[in-house]
């Protein structure tokens, strides 16, 4: 069966005019990558389904992160940004569904056996955590994830997870992500980094957020052992303040 090039979110019949599609945008696409990074944006829901714009702020914020990962990978990883079907999160179709679609797309394009790291911010961080159990995901980075504190009851055996949260985030609660991290640690290797003074948009101390995501993605996909905070996390230090 031929895979459709776009994944359609199907809203209620009276909203058919608002049907939207998930899209993948290349940041780096080497001919023979050793792994794949999917970069997931956030973005609040709207009263009616709305198409994700490539120029909305929550999408643009992930551009430098994707670029930082691609530079750190030095041509060894494919790095793609996922634009979700619709903004926000609803009961009928969520960003996790878009991640599953994207995993199928990259498997078709680059091969089914390549390891994948998910890197997401806010609701994209939530999607990264909730989709981390999918094949062939081996690692996930959640930056200031908007999560419920009870969402960590997942079996992520064999996965490595990094949660990075600014202690001055007033939109997504660090206490909720910390509770999720503790639960995930029952089955996965989890590190939690608190960024002092970090706010939700990650503009303050952006180099810390971007660098941690890049170092972790490259280390977990390529087997590198970096120095610094990610090196400490991969060596078993579960809670780090920076």
Q: Which candidate, 98, 91, 93, 123, places its Cα nearest to that of 38?
A: 98
* Residue 45: predicted pLDDT: 61
pTM of the model: 0.89
Residue from 36, 206, 12 nearest 111 by CA = 36
Report the pLDDT value the prediction gives residue 8, as an integer from 0 to 100. Answer: 37
Q: What is the mean pLDDT of each run of 10 residues along the chain (242 residues)?
A: 36 39 95 97 70 77 96 97 85 88 97 96 97 97 97 96 97 97 98 97 95 98 93 96 97
């Amino acid at each position: 069966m031929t895979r459709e090039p776009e994944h359609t979110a199907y809203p209620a019949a009276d909203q058919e005019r608002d049907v939207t599609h998930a899209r993948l945008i290349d940041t780096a696409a080497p001919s023979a990558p050793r792994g794949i990074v999917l970069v997931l944006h956030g973005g609040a829901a709207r009263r009616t389904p709305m198409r994700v714009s490539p120029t909305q702020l929550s999408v643009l914020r992930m551009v430098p992160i994707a670029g930082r990962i691609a530079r750190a990978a030095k041509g060894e990883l494919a790095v793609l940004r996922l634009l979700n079907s619709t903004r926000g999160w609803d009961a009928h179709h969520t960003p996790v569904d878009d991640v599953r679609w994207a995993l199928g797309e990259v498997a078709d394009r680059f091969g089914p056996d390549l390891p994948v790291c998910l890197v997401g911010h806010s609701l994209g961080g939530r999607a990264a955590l909730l989709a981390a159990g999918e094949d062939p995901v081996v690692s996930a980075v959640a930056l200031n994830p908007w999560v419920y504190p009870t969402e960590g009851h997942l079996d992520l055996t064999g996965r490595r997870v990094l949660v990075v949260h600014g202690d001055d985030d007033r939109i997504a609660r660090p206490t909720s992500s910390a509770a999720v991290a503790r639960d995930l640690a029952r089955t996965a290797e989890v590190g939690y980094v608190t960024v002092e003074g970090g706010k939700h948009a990650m503009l303050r101390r952006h180099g810390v957020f971007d660098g941690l995501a890049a170092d972790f993605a490259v280390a977990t996909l390529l087997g590198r052992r970096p120095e610094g905070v990610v090196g400490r996390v991969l060596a078993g230090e579960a809670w780090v303040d920076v």
